[in-house]
């Protein structure tokens, strides 16, 4: 894991700050300075446009387009790619002074500074532009997405001439002509336009996006219109030394329903624009209150490590921006709303990495994520049919519930998305104690998932049950038999389903006793490759016989391997990309002894190259449990700053949103030693040697629990709500506002 930080932002507990423009990191900054409010995501691109390296992107949750690959002549291979499509640039601005147009790739400028504040969600950028004629204009660009009224957004421009008085020309607009950069193609038609309002309709899927704006400026506005653009041209009189403000209030509405008339979409947007009268300052104040409230409940503090403090707050801020359970039917793309990589598709990362964050900070959002899988059950049923199976197979990658992964070797062979849904149902129920959803929608989902798992698996000649031709979470072992993760998770899924259905009215559920018996037989007969002598789970049948490769001997320049190694070469040795056996040992942590975890960690970790950005945190969490505290810190090192320091050199494509969730887990499950798979929530806190202390809070059974850890002790108490029972340091106890404390000994967990 020879990853090297590329740190160029200033360290600050509540902000990211770029002092002086770093043109060579322009795309990275665009990702980092992204704003979002779940409804929309706006990359930190320059309002006035930038002719250098840039990916100007504005993405709306659930607004996507489709693209068909050349179809393969085989059944069950999806050739339809859905992608979150670039939409409307409502920040469109052109600035002319003395016949020169502002463009930081070409113009002379100084005193550049850009700040994103996690306590308000305000993005501020300022600099002094000096024209060829020597005029100096101090400019401040502000932008804001309302956290209260999600369609509402603001742009604010302050202009102060430093050495002249005179006219500046501004063009402000709403621009649907941006290309979707992944395919260098624009996907919008604009069937309606008026002064300051425009309706876009996406070309293939006919999603609609309304954008409307009102500009507040002391200047005459001349309307400007083009096929996919509406806006206005302003001549603004500037006076030396005086600040002039231009404000733009914007409404961005989206609608996926193709049945909805254009009139309706138009009228709804126009009406909201008319009634939105709050000023920038008022909405900024609302946002501040929103974030204050949020941080009060979900902050993680780290004392003695300002970089990590900044890093983890950046992570939490981005998670909350991206998703908070406001929009029904939304999910979390691998890059959130910050870029086009992974096409805005959601993966099993949602259930496995993101869900815990929400479960312990915003249980309603967690429920909404599970609800996404319930809403898309019909698509999962159809997908299983495509695969000649029964029941429901959840997609590897999706926006709308259909399979959007066009690589058959993943889409047809990976079933961790399906078992992850069952796991999520179990995990939520286990943490919240709430069985209402489980006994209704949950039962339906579990039945269909079991039907899939029963029909996709096969009985061996010796009367055992297993999964053949699968790929586990470790994507470096492509098409194997009886992957331990797949089989183990399936076994647990069957068992949980049987337990859930016990006593329920099977007939009403459309399910037979014979089916349940078969599932019981399958669960009992499930092959789990395991060597009792060594305590090692074999990642799949034959894994132990694979040729060994020393992953540390692979030259750094060979990474990422997908780009430098011939495709098949990756798949024919005992190197793994990410945790597989260790993954199920993390998920069902209580089901394995410390000795088993140690044996398997010692065997698999040295074989893992952590090519998935999700891998190090899981290893860090287990290393903490095993008392390998230095190792835990090493794996953690870049968890919170994977994007801020661009460790993978691809932050320019967007934020690693789901890895950011893993960073949260790394602190809470790793150092905090929290486990949520037992009967009670439990903690075994440890602390990195260079931290003086840290704290986090988790929602649990109606209470908010606060954990404060110093180098000597950990204090846990309820800060809101009723007392709850938990386990700490292996001891079961009820805690209230008084709380309890345990000494922090950096040692192995014991129970």
Which of 475, 538, 625, 708 is catalytic? The answer is 475
Which sign, positive or negative, has the C-alpha torsion 668, 670, 675, 676? positive
Q: CA-based Rg of the chain, rounded to a whole angstrom?
A: 27
Q: Kindly state the tokens that stand for 471.
A: 């790929």
Q: Which residues of 90-106 are buried (b: 16+ CB within 10 A; e: fewer)?
A: bbbbbbbbeebebbbee
Q: Between 125 and 383, whose beta carbon lies closer to a second copy?
A: 383
The answer to whether the beta carbons of residues 170 and 95 sit under 8 Å apart is yes
Strand ranges for 77-183 from DSSP E: 80-84, 93-97, 100-101, 108-117, 122-130, 136-145, 152-161, 166-175
CB of 291 to a second copy, least distance (A): 39
Q: Between 456 and 619, whose beta carbon lies closer to a second copy?
A: 456
Q: Between 55 and 413, whose beta carbon lies closer to a second copy?
A: 413
CB of 341 to a second copy, least distance (A): 12
Q: Kindly state the tokens that stand for 277.
A: 């009268």
Q: Between 71 and 364, whose beta carbon lies closer to a second copy?
A: 71
The answer to whether the beta carbons of residues 476 and 554 sit under 8 Å apart is no
CB of 245 to a second copy, least distance (A): 47
CB of 473 to a second copy, least distance (A): 17
CB of 612 to a second copy, least distance (A): 16
CB of 415 to a second copy, least distance (A): 11
The helix (run of H) or strand (run of E) holding residue 717 is strand 713-720
Q: Kindly state the tokens that stand for 262.
A: 């254009």
Residue 351: closest CA among 537, 583, 651, 538: 583
Three-state secondary-structure class, residue 593:
coil
Bridge partners (DSSP) listed for residue 221: 234
Bridge partners (DSSP) listed for residue 230: 174, 225
The answer to whether the beta carbons of residues 671 and 694 sit under 8 Å apart is yes
**Residue carrying the six token digits 């329903």:** 257
Q: Kindly state the tokens that stand for 153.
A: 């957004």
Q: Between 109 and 544, whose beta carbon lies closer to a second copy?
A: 544
CB of 389 to a second copy, least distance (A): 8
The answer to whether the beta carbons of residues 572 and 507 sit under 8 Å apart is no
What is the C-alpha to C-alpha distance for residues 194 and 619, in angstroms, rounded to an integer? 56
For the beta carbon of residue 654, count every other beta carbon within 10 angstroms.
28
The helix (run of H) or strand (run of E) holding residue 357 is helix 355-359
Q: Which residues of 165-199 are buried (b: 16+ CB within 10 A; e: fewer)?
A: eeebbbbbbbbbebebebeeeebbebebbeebbbb
Q: Between 283 and 411, whose beta carbon lies closer to a second copy?
A: 411
- How far CA 133 is from CA of 136, 137, 164, 517, in Å, comes to 9, 12, 11, 85
Show the 3-state SS of 724-746.
EEEEECCEEEEECCCCEEEECCC
CB of 70 to a second copy, least distance (A): 6
Q: Enter the DSSP assignment of 456.
A: H
- How far CA 676 is from CA of 203, 356, 357, 682, 727, in Å, comes to 45, 9, 12, 7, 10
CB of 497 to a second copy, least distance (A): 23
Q: Between 466 and 473, whose beta carbon lies closer to a second copy?
A: 466
> Measured between alpha carbons, how far apart are the two ends of the chain, in Å?
31
Catalytic (active site) residue 475: yes
Q: Between 235 and 388, whose beta carbon lies closer to a second copy?
A: 388
What is the C-alpha to C-alpha distance for residues 434 and 206, in angstroms, rounded to an integer? 39
Three-state secondary-structure class, residue 168:
strand
Q: Between 541 and 677, whose beta carbon lies closer to a second copy?
A: 541
CB of 522 to a second copy, least distance (A): 13
Residue 23: closest CA among 57, 49, 54: 54
Q: Between 62 and 466, whose beta carbon lies closer to a second copy?
A: 466
Which sign, positive or negative, has the C-alpha torsion 214, 219, 223, 229? negative
Residue 494: closest CA among 530, 526, 539: 526
Q: Between 370 and 570, whose beta carbon lies closer to a second copy?
A: 570
Taking every pair of Cα atoms in the chain, the longest distance, rounded to a whole number of angstroms, is 89
Q: Between 260 and 567, whose beta carbon lies closer to a second copy?
A: 567
* Site residues, a second copy (CB under 8 A): 69-70, 72-77, 386-389, 408-409, 412-413, 458-462, 466, 468-469, 478-479, 481, 541-542, 545-548, 562-569, 571-573
CB of 560 to a second copy, least distance (A): 11
**Residue carrying the six token digits 């770093």:** 22
Chain centroid to CA 558: 27
Q: Between 77 and 484, whose beta carbon lies closer to a second copy?
A: 77
Residue 450: closest CA among 401, 512, 505, 367: 512
What is the C-alpha to C-alpha distance for residues 459 and 450, in angstroms, rounded to an integer? 15
Q: Enter the DSSP assignment of 19.
A: E
Q: Enter the DSSP assignment of 351.
A: I
Residue 109: closest CA among 132, 82, 77, 76: 132
Catalytic site positions: 475
């Amino acid at each position: 894991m020879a990853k090297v930080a590329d740190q160029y932002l200033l360290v600050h507990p509540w902000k990211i700050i770029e002092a002086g423009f770093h043109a060579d990191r322009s795309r990275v900054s665009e990702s980092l300075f992204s704003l979002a409010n779940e409804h929309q995501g706006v990359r930190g691109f320059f309002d006035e446009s930038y002719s250098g390296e840039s990916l100007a992107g504005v993405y709306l949750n659930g607004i996507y387009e489709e693209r068909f690959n050349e179809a393969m002549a085989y059944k069950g291979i999806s050739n339809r790619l859905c992608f979150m499509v670039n939409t409307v640039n409502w920040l469109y601005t052109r600035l002319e002074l003395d016949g020169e147009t502002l463009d930081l790739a070409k113009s002379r400028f100084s005193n550049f500074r850009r700040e994103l504040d996690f306590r308000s969600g305000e993005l501020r950028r300022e600099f002094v532009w000096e024209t060829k004629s020597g005029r100096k204009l101090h400019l401040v660009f502000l932008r804001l997405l309302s956290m209260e009224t999600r369609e509402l957004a603001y742009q604010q421009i302050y202009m102060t001439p430093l050495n002249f008085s005179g006219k500046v020309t501004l063009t402000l607009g709403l621009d649907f002509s941006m290309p979707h950069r992944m395919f260098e193609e624009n996907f919008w038609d604009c069937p309606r336009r008026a002064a300051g309002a425009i309706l876009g309709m996406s070309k293939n899927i006919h999603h609609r996006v309304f954008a409307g704006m009102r500009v507040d400026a002391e200047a005459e506005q001349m309307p400007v219109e083009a096929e996919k653009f509406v806006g206005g041209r302003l001549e603004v009189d500037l006076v030396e030394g005086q600040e002039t403000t231009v404000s733009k209030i914007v409404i961005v509405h989206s609608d996926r329903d193709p049945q909805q008339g254009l009139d309706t979409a138009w009228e709804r947007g126009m009406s909201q624009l008319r009634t939105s009268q709050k000023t920038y300052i008022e909405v900024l104040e609302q946002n501040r209150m929103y974030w204050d409230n949020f941080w009060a409940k979900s902050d993680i503090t780290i004392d003695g490590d300002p970089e990590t403090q900044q890093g983890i707050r950046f992570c939490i801020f981005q998670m909350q921006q991206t998703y908070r359970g406001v929009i029904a039917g939304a999910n979390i793309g691998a890059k959130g709303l910050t870029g086009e990589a992974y096409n805005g598709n959601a993966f099993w990362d949602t259930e496995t990495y993101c869900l815990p964050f929400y479960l312990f900070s915003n249980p309603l959002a967690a429920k909404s994520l599970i609800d996404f899988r319930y809403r898309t059950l019909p698509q999962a049923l159809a997908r299983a049919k495509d695969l000649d199976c029964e029941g429901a197979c959840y997609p590897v990658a999706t926006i709308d519930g259909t399979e959007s992964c066009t690589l058959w070797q993943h889409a047809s062979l990976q079933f961790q998305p399906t078992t992850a849904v069952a796991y999520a149902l179990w995990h939520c129920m286990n943490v919240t104690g709430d069985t209402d959803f489980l006994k209704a929608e949950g039962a339906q989902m579990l039945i269909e998932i079991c039907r899939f798992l029963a029909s996709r698996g096969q009985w061996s000649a010796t009367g055992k049950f297993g999964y053949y031709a699968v790929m586990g979470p470790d994507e470096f072992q492509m098409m194997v038999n009886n992957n331990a993760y797949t089989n183990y998770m399936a076994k647990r899924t069957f068992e949980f389903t049987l337990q859930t259905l016990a006593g329920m009215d099977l007939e009403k559920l459309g399910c037979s006793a014979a089916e349940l018996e078969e599932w019981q037989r399958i669960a009992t007969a499930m092959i789990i490759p395991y060597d009792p002598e060594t305590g090692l789970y074999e990642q799949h049948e034959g894994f132990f016989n694979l040729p060994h490769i020393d992953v540390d001997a692979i030259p750094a320049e060979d990474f990422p391997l997908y780009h430098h190694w011939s495709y098949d070469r990756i798949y024919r040795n005992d190197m793994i990309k990410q945790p597989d056996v260790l993954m199920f040992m993390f998920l069902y942590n209580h089901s394995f002894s410390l000795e088993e975890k140690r044996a398997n960690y010692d065997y698999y970790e040295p074989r893992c190259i952590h090519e998935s950005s999700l891998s190090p945190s899981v290893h860090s969490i287990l290393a903490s449990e095993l008392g390998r505290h230095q190792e835990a810190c090493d794996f953690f090192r870049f968890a919170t700053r994977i994007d801020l320091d661009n460790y993978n050199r691809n932050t320019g494509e967007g934020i690693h949103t789901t890895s950011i969730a893993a960073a949260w887990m790394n602190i809470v499950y790793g150092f905090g030693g929290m486990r949520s798979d037992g009967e009670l929530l439990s903690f075994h806190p440890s602390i990195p040697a260079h931290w003086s202390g840290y704290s986090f809070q988790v929602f649990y059974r109606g209470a908010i629990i606060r954990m404060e850890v110093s180098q000597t002790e950990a204090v846990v108490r309820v800060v809101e709500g009723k007392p709850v029972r938990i386990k700490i340091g292996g001891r079961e106890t009820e805690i209230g506002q008084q709380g309890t404390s345990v000494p922090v000994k950096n040692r192995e967990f014991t129970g």
